[in-house]
């Protein structure tokens, strides 16, 4: 019984440490604070239920990022999601997910958004992002280049200035 409690306590500490990061990734992937909160809970449950690398501090953060991105992808692809219309289409609510440049980043495809987020906000290198997302570094570099190019177009054509 001690081992299970120790694992639960350790998982709780990990979630507390990385909850903000998980929430930000989920928010920028789903575009919804409510969905991001659900994803955060699902990631926490997955951490408790699966063989997560609780003792490997170098591996836990990339593992959490990968699980979060996969949960977001599952939510986006779910049949329930396709059959409903988001409430945000009818009621505009201010949220941290859609301030400033986030509006422009949200126009990017999911893979580009994830690469931009991991590179600029989490500080991962292209090689590290490749390992997290299960892609070759050349692919990640291409996505980052294309994302920058698209963002430049979005910002200049949209008349946005963030200087």
Q: What is the mean pLDDT of each run of 10 residues along the chain (163 residues)?
A: 58 89 91 90 88 72 92 78 50 46 82 90 90 92 93 77 46
- For residue 110, the SS3 value is helix
In whole angstroms, what is the distance from residue 116 CA to residue 149 CA?
Answer: 12
What digits encode the pLDDT tens for the residues 93-138? Answer: 344 444 567 778 888 888 899 999 899 888 899 999 999 889 999 9
> What does pTM read for this prediction?
0.63
In whole angstroms, what is the distance from residue 123 CA to residue 107 CA?
Answer: 22
Residue 149, pLDDT score: 92
Query: What tokens were used for 80?
Result: 């329930």
Sign of CA dihedral 62, 66, 72, 75: negative
Contact 124, 118 (CB under 8 A): yes
């Amino acid at each position: 019984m001690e081992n299970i409690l120790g694992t639960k306590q350790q998982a709780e500490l990990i979630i507390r440490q990385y909850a903000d990061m998980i929430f930000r990734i989920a928010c920028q992937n789903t575009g919804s604070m409510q969905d991001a909160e659900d994803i955060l809970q699902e990631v926490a449950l997955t951490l408790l239920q699966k063989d997560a690398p609780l003792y490997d501090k170098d591996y836990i953060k990339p593992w959490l990022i990968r699980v979060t991105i996969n949960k977001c992808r599952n939510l986006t692809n779910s049949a329930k999601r396709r059959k409903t219309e988001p409430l945000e289409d009818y009621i505009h609510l201010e949220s941290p997910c859609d301030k400033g440049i986030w509006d422009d980043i949200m126009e990017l495809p999911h893979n580009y958004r994830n690469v931009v987020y991991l590179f600029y906000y989490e500080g991962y290198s292209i090689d590290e992002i490749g390992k997290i997302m299960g892609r070759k570094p050349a692919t990640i570099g291409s996505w980052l280049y294309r994302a920058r190019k698209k963002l430049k177009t979005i910002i200049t054509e949209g008349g946005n200035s963030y200087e």
